[in-house]
Structure 1
Amino acid sequence: MSNERAPGEIGRTSAAALSPADADHAGDSPDRRGWRANPAVVERCKRRRPGPVYEEDQVPSYELPDPLRGSDGSVVDSPQAWRRRRQEILDLFRTHVYGHRPPGDDPRTRRRFDVVEEDPSAMDGAATLRRVVVRSERADNERPTRTHQFEVTVFLPNAAADPVPVFLLLNIAGPENTDPTRERTSSIWPAEEAVARGYGIAALQVRDLAPDDPARFREGIIQLVEGDLDERPPDAWKALAAWGWGASRAMDYFETDPRVDHTKVAVLGHSRGGKAALWAGAEDERFALVISNESGCGGAALSRRRFGETVAAINRRFPHWFCDNFRRYDDAEHALPVDQHMLIALIAPRAVYVASADEDLWADPRGEFLSLAHASSVYGLWGHSTIGPDDMPPLDTPLRVGPRGYHIRSGDHSLTEVDWNHYMDFADTLWR
């Protein structure tokens, strides 16, 4: 799969290939040109972090691996044939990018869910609050019994007569932003708004699973599994995979809660939390909707574009996020056997939403959109319309094509109520 847009060429939004039932461009205007970076923002980024690529005419030529062509040269042409290719791609990401996380049903690990607080009249009676502690205990013949626990905060709307869909946030911003007392509220987690719209909303703190620290990332769930292992293989899991593992354990709990529709759970993350959410959705097919909010390099953005943050840059700053093998591709993205459009493809045919921000060029908004576009061949196996590489929508204009959504919002690197409203609007089209 080649880079279909020459360096510097401006993409144009076109819905010509989309049927009215499968495409929804909000805010149509006579000028259908897609998003282009604001020159003032480009100059500001160049002053702030000189060196990286911030302009399209500097993007190197690249060729993307074809998600529908297996290592043996076979071409995938059906959903049934995709299952084998999907496993192959999943294993490539495990080996070269995120590492191998342990299975959730490891017989050596006992797990239980303890509701440590339940308030049926939270939010002035609008919701039920549940604080659930997920406890894991591991025992084997070689090491003493070890334990690990983390908490999931859940609000469920009391007005709902039936089990409700739930949004699960992988919170990177600190627990005060997901305050269960609601003494402090935050746009990062608009619980009241979600409940008012009939959705459940939940959060876990990624730091409880693996500290976001290169010297301490093993102190959480990784230590439970590995103990004090001295030498780790180069494809061993690190923080991002541990955070995604925690999302799956939250899903284990949702399957036990009769007020949760566990067939309609969305996993969502911002920035590095978005990287973890995408990987969680790739590993765990129980998530019906996967949402990436400005996840950038190692998340939704194509690595081969080398735009903004690169593989070398992210590995230097955050060596505890990806497996050690990922360092092989510092300044050698062309040698990766995968790219991030294949991560999006692993979510098919389930729903996925990718979002960017106009001033967040470090995360490569166009590269995030292109990953979604280049996953179209896989979604096409289920009859979904193509999102072309020139279909990037204008600023603040959501694009919805079947089970895929995208928007680029005004502003900088953040998770806002505007983003959340787009995600809930999208969920409405899927589930309501």
Structure 2
Amino acid sequence: MNKLIFCLLFFAFLSNASAQFDANYDESKVPEFKLPDPLKTFNGKKIRNSKKWESRRRPELLNFFTQNMYGEVPGKLEISSVDIQEERKSALNGKAVRKQVDLVFKNHGKTLDFTILIYLPKTEESVPLFVGYNFFGNHTITEDVDVVISEAWARNNPSFGIINNQLTEQSRGVRTNRWCVDKIIDAGFGLAVIYYGEVDPDKDDFSDGIHPLFYIDDQQQPAANEWGSIAAWSWGLSRAMDYFERDEDIDESKVVVFGHSRLGKTALWAGASDERFAGVISNNSGCGGAALSKRRFGETVWRINNSFPHWFCKNFRNYIKNEEALPVDQHELIALIAPRPVYIASAEEDKWSDPKGEFLSALYATPVYNLYGKKGIQQTEMPELNQPVQNTVAYHIRTGEHDVTAFDWEQYIKWAQKFIQ
């Protein structure tokens, strides 16, 4: 009998655990919640103009997100050296210039470097630029055989020929569909990409990547309020921006940071924390990115911190199954980018990323943009599929799944041509 009771209790436990892993995709089960007002300070004072936003509200919001979600970078570290691996004046069938640039960092006896692959249209003028991370190496975004294959750790993906956590030639060009390099160059923009694993390998291990360069004494991992991987990847984007300011071929005043999925979360945080970026594009970024946390739809604060405990600072775990206690939400992350342009994009089949929650964040960030006389999202209902709303705050939801498509890039380019000035 004791064995029977034990078995019943054990299966009940498994059933309950399984239920906890089930994501909610039913709007009727979204809990009631009240969003914090981006134009009201934590102590209840109303913000009525951009000057007060910048002096009072923006700093306290930025500090909260830093200390309780993404984590603080524990110090400053400048580029130790820049190594131009190669520069070719006639790439992509003669229409572009290609550069492969190594940025090297040294601190506390440790060294880290990462490579920026840059394509620029052939012109005598400095050009605007999209910059973003890729998931499986710079060589995956193009079939260009001269792009160097990274030796950094990578997540295994046998379909791409990635085994034993090592990138290989077999994966060259497997993600060309996500980057539309020719469309970008033809539109007069440059493109810079970085393999995110070179800045911080995407695993729950803070013994490699950029973190150890900042450790003090016998420190083994970041403190509870210090940076997780998303903030580390954002840090890397800012260091790339340091380089762009030196490169005369790039117009550093017109650099747009782009990211998809977890790297969309990264792009939003980079744009919020580094005001040098002229614009931000978040593609299917979901929980911890553009989607409202309080909706508990699709991926949740609990799930993301359990599945990827290294992405955020440990303090964020205080809000696991406790989203109602958050004094902020992701619409205020988007508001931190104001008055610079921001584009939030969703996909119809990507319920995990909560398209409605992403749209609502763009909508409820709009009052802050209005302080600057900028136009945001004015309609309260989501737009029709494949019908973008393109203002300073832009949004679209397209047909399809969690991915980056040619349709997405066509909208981003059109929007950037109008709003990145």
Change (3 A) 1:91 1:124: same
Number of the residue aligned with 2:68: 96
Taking structure 1 as reference, are residues 355 and 218 closer, same or farther at Cα in structure 2, changes over 3 Å only? farther
Task: Pick which of 331-340 and 52-61 moved more.
Answer: 52-61
Q: C-alpha displacement at 1:72, in angstroms?
A: 2.8
CA distance in 2, matches of 1:122, 1:230: 44
- Structure-1 separation of matches of 2:315 and 2:379: 30
Unaligned 5+ residue runs, structure 2? Answer: 1-17, 146-171
Equivalent position SS for 1:263? strand
- Cα gap change, 1:233 to 1:49, in 2 (>3 Å): closer
- What are the superposed Cα offsets for residues 230-270 of structure 1, whole Å, 9 maximum, x if unpaired? 36421111110000000001111111111111111011110
Aligned residue number for residue 87 of structure 1: 59
Change (3 A) 1:367 1:52: same
Distance, in Å, in 2 between the alignment partners of 1:132 and 1:174 is 14
Moved over 4 A (4+): 47-50
Residue 412 of structure 2 corresponds to which residue in structure 1? 423
Identify the range of structure 1 (161-170 vs 316-325) with the bigger mean alpha-carbon deviation. 161-170
What is the CA RMSD across the aligned residues, in angstroms? 2.0
- Aligned with residue 27 of structure 2, among 53, 56, 59: 56
What does residue 407 of structure 1 align with? 396
Map 1:15-414 to 2 at 5 A.
Answer: 51-84=22-55, 85-102=57-74, 104=76, 106=77, 109=78, 111-139=80-108, 145-158=109-122, 160-179=123-142, 181=144, 184=173, 186-214=176-204, 216-226=205-215, 229-230=219-220, 232-385=222-375, 387-388=377-378, 390-401=380-391, 403-414=392-403
- Secondary structure at the counterpart of residue 233 of structure 2: helix
1:174 deviates by 3.7
CA distance in 2, matches of 1:52, 1:191: 35
Equivalent residue for 1:4?
none
CA–CA separation in structure 2 for the residues paired with 1:102 and 1:165: 31
Aligned-residue offset at 1:103: 5.1
C-alpha displacement at 1:50, in angstroms?
7.5
Check 1:351–1:48 CA distance in 2 against 1; reply closer, same or farther (3 A cut).
farther
Shift of residue 161, structure 1, vs aligned partner? 3.3
**What is the rounded CA distance, in whole Å, between the counterparts of 1:116 and 1:156 in structure 2?**
16
Whether contact under 8 Å (1:153, 1:204) holds in the other structure is yes
Whose helix fraction is larger, Structure 1's or Structure 2's?
2
2 CA distance for matches of 1:378 and 1:170? 28
CA distance in 2, matches of 1:321, 1:68: 28
TM-score by length of 1: 0.83
| Larger RCO (CA within 8 A; separation ≥ 6) | 1
Instruction: Say whether the 8 Å CA contact 2:269–2:333 is kept in structure 1.
Output: yes
Q: Deviations over 1:135-155 (max 9, x none)?
A: 11124xxxxx22111011100
Q: Is the 8 A contact 1:147 1:224 kept in 2?
A: yes
Give the superposition deviation at 1:389.
Answer: 6.2
Instruction: Specify the code of the residue in structure 2 equivalent to 1:125.
Output: G
Q: Which amino acid aligns with 1:277?
A: A
Q: How far apart in 2 are the matches of 1:335 and 1:309?
A: 18
**8 A contact 2:341–2:420 mirrored in 1:** no
Give the residue type in structure 2 aligned to 1:166: L
Q: State the 1:391 CA deviation.
A: 3.5
SS of residue in 2 equivalent to 1:262: strand
- Tell me, yes or no, if the aligned pair for 2:377 and 2:394 is still in contact at 8 Å: no
8 Å CA contact 1:374–1:389 kept in 2: the answer is no
Q: CA deviation at 1:418?
A: 1.3
Amino acid at match of 1:146: K
How far did residue 178 of structure 1 move?
2.5
How many aligned positions are there? 375
Q: Which amino acid aligns with 2:181?
A: A
* Cα separation, 1, equivalents of 2:378 and 2:182: 36
Mapped to 1, the partners of 2:370 and 2:249 lie a distance apart of 34
Contact 2:363/2:378 (<8 A) preserved: yes
Give the superposition deviation at 1:431: 3.9
